[in-house]
Amino acid sequence: MATTVLSVTEIKSKALDAFVNKFGENANICVCAPGRVNLIGEHTDYNEGFVLPLALPMITLIVGKRNNLEKCNIVSLSEVVSSENHFEFEVSSRKNIKPGEPKWANYVKGCVANFICDVPSFNAVIVSSVPVGAGLSSSAALEVATYTFLEALTGVKSGKPEDKALACQRAEHDFAGVPCGIMDQFISVMGKEGHALLLDCRDLGIKQIPISQINDYVFLITNSNAPHKLSSSAYCKRRDCCYEAAKRLNKESLREVSMSDIQVLKLQNVPEEMIKRTRHVITEIQRTIEAVDALEKGDFNKFGQLMNESHDSLKNDYEVSSIELDTLVAAAREINGVLGSRLTGAGFGGCTVTLLKKDVIDETINHIKAKYSGNATFYIATPAMGARILDIN
Ligand code: ADP
Ligand code: MG
């Protein structure tokens, strides 16, 4: 059976209780922002390509209230921060906010520092149902929830949704020190129930793609629960390799490059690694375009086939898979009724996403459990809404 995700009501009541316990009064603001799964288009965002994520029912929720202390008190109930789950910082001048310890608080501080205007001091409790560090973007959920909280607190709303996403991305770059792409924040801000989001990372154009009509099919997330081994250096190495390849071809980015350019790189005697990385990006951008077309035509077999090709390219050309992810993908593909399976997120651990017929969900889960020596967890990826302010009651 897939794991049942806590409902918004359950998470909210947990957060409100914790707020009263901690601060001795009731919170009067409640907001949330979702995690995401990317269906296809991996390692294409920083190459100005396409990505196709959907927002998940798993959310990060913040409750809070203004205080008169000139400093903010924030508590996260997440297990990953259990030893240092509370921190305080001054907000009298946004320019003086600096990253520091505990690390998780930098995501929050970065959003306050990047907010549109000064913010008054506040108390807040954070509760999340997004697995942390699993590639479902708990970090963007935390940033976007924080930013939405600040909008509710000040009454000042970000002009355009993309400005909000970009400010959150900057928080992750400058405060958490993670040079992430723009996909995670975009989908956490703009997710729409029943839709995946096609994002063009070159001009930030978006298109909502309905997937609610897929009725007999469903996307299943399998969390390998294997430790995330993608060090930021492995990520940066791949990113820099792509930038170098584009530069050698006199292009702004690999978005502008086609398969015929591979020949040009070969003539320049570049390392084989650069050929492989470039080939992945070119083919993955093309696959994402074809996948959207397939989805719009209701051709799920084609979508599944493209997912399989995406995984194989990530494994062989981009070299970001792992034994755990390959095992999960191979096991899923053995079931009749599974149309496609691939790693999702940056790789080296984290999750896979599988397109399958609804009536083989349990069979697939049982088969994966039998074949995988680790402890996998399963979630149905129902496309949900982006960040929002919730009623406090
Ligand atoms: P992912 O975004 O795939 O979950 P990241 O490594 O990008 O993984 O982000 C995980 C980090 O984000 C955690 O180590 C922690 O610092 C921070 N984080 C995410 N959610 C929470 C939360 N609810 N409370 C505290 N910190 C969180
Ligand atoms: Mg993240």
Beta partners for 388?
Answer: 32
The protein residue whose alpha carbon is closest to atom 8 in ligand 1 is 133
Residues with CB under 6 A from ligand 1: 60, 76, 78, 80-81, 103-104, 107, 126, 128, 132-139, 142
pLDDT digit string, tens, across residues 189-207: 999 999 999 999 999 999 9
Q: What CA–CA distance (Å, rounded) separates 393 from 391?
A: 5
Placement of tokens 């506040």 in the chain = 122
- DSSP one-letter string for 28-62: -EEEEEEEEEE-S--S-GGGT-EE-EEEEEEEEEE
Give the residue from 165, 146, 153 showing the smallest Cα distance to 67.
153
Residue from 11, 82, 138 whose mutation best tests the ligand 1 pocket (most atoms within 8 A of CB): 138
Instruction: Give the mean pLDDT of 141-163.
Output: 96
Q: What CA–CA distance (Å, rounded) separates 286 from 353?
A: 19
pTM of the model: 0.96
pLDDT surpasses 90 at 326: yes
DSSP-derived 3-state class of residue 383: coil
Instruction: Give the mean pLDDT of 92-105.
Output: 88
pLDDT tier, 325 (very low <50, low <70, confident <90, very high otherwise)? very high
Q: Is 264 left (phi over 0), alpha (psi -120 to 50) or beta?
A: alpha
Give the residue from 73, 130, 136 showing the smallest Cα distance to 105.
73
Instruction: Give the mean pLDDT of 106-115.
Output: 96
Known catalytic residue at 184: yes
pLDDT surpasses 60 at 230: no
pLDDT digit string, tens, across residues 261-270: 999 999 999 9
ipTM over 0.95: yes
Q: Is 70 exposed, middle or buried (0-12, 13-18, 19+ CB in 10 A)?
A: exposed
Q: Which ligand is nearest to the CA of 349?
A: 1
Mean pLDDT value across the chain: 95
pLDDT surpasses 90 at 179: no
pLDDT at 124: 98
pLDDT digit string, tens, across residues 284-323: 999 999 999 999 999 999 999 999 999 999 999 999 999 9
pLDDT tier, 158 (very low <50, low <70, confident <90, very high otherwise)? confident
